[in-house]
């Protein structure tokens, strides 16, 4: 299981890299769960990140506007992202979600076949009116994505496990794997939740809060010692 750490700037990216993160995920929590950062921030972080590590970029908690989202995806690609995540916030059902994602896939894959495209849903989708989280593997498959992901939309202290139990998460992972997709799980994930996620076959775990001083994704800052502890724990499984 790979460790994805989500810095917001150069300083945090360096801490993430020093701590041993496998994927450096550029985001902006001020704009939401999967808030988008600026192109120049993505570019700067890609330039300072070792070539053997992937740099991920979030496009935001996106609306149901396939053209707008496709342009954002091209911006992330041009800025150097190897791994592009789309938060399917404004899509209400499978068909809307597929329409957004298949256009992102076409936009990016036409110019960069190797870029990883991620359809990201929300375990607490019912709180924001987004597409059902258990639909995301099929959305990802039908749109031609590479990876199906879940996060939480509302960051209020609740975790992924408050909305989906381990059996449901295993069902999510197993369905995605049956389609040949990778999986990522996030959502205020705590240290003691890493082993269960590993055991159900999750490919990538996404973390920000647990890698921050004080454990707060908004007021804390990522520190390499916290990242290293998480990486060491994952490597022990």
Q: What is the CATH number of the domain that holds 197?
A: 3.20.20.70
pLDDT averaged per 10 residues in sequence order, the chain, 237 residues: 96 97 95 95 98 96 98 98 98 98 98 97 97 98 98 92 97 98 96 96 95 69 95 96
Instruction: Tokens for 111, please give them.
Output: 């110019």
- The domain tally of the chain equals 1
Catalytic residue among 27, 138, 141, 231: 27
Beta-bridge partner residues of 62: 88
Any catalytic annotation for residue 85? Answer: yes
Q: Which domain holds residue 72?
A: 2-235
Instruction: Determine the Cα–Cα distance for residues 57 and 39; give it in Å rounded to an integer.
Output: 9
CB neighbours of residue 100 within 10 Å: 28
Catalytic residue among 30, 43, 85, 170: 85
Using a cut of 0.85, tell me whether the model's pTM lies above it: yes
Size (the chain), residues: 237
CA angle 99, 149, 81 (to 5 degrees): 80
What is the per-residue pLDDT for 216?
61
What is the per-residue pLDDT for 220?
74
Any catalytic annotation for residue 27? Answer: yes
């Amino acid at each position: 299981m790979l460790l994805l750490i989500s810095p917001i700037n150069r300083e945090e990216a360096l801490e993430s890299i020093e701590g041993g993160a496998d994927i450096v995920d550029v985001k902006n929590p001020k704009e939401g769960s999967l808030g988008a950062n600026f192109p120049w921030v993505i570019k700067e972080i890609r330039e300072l990140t070792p070539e053997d590590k992937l740099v991920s970029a979030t496009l935001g908690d996106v609306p149901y506007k396939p053209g707008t989202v496709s342009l954002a995806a091209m911006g992330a690609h041009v800025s150097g992202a190897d791994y592009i995540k789309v938060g399917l916030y404004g899509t209400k059902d499978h068909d809307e979600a597929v329409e957004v994602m298949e256009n992102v896939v076409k936009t990016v894959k036409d110019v960069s076949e190797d870029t990883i495209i991620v359809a990201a849903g929300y375990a607490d989708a019912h709180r924001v009116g987004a597409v059902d989280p258990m639909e995301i593997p099929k959305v990802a498959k039908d749109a031609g994505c590479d990876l199906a992901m879940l996060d939480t939309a509302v960051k209020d202290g609740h975790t992924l496990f408050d909305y989906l139990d381990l059996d449901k998460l295993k069902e999510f992972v197993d369905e995605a794997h049956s389609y040949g997709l990778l999986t990522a799980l996030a959502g205020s994930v705590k240290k003691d939740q890493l082993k269960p996620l590993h055991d159900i076959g999750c490919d990538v775990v996404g973390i920000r809060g647990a890698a921050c001083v004080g454990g707060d994704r908004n007021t804390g800052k990522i520190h390499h010692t916290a990242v290293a502890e998480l990486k060491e724990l994952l490597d022990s499984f």
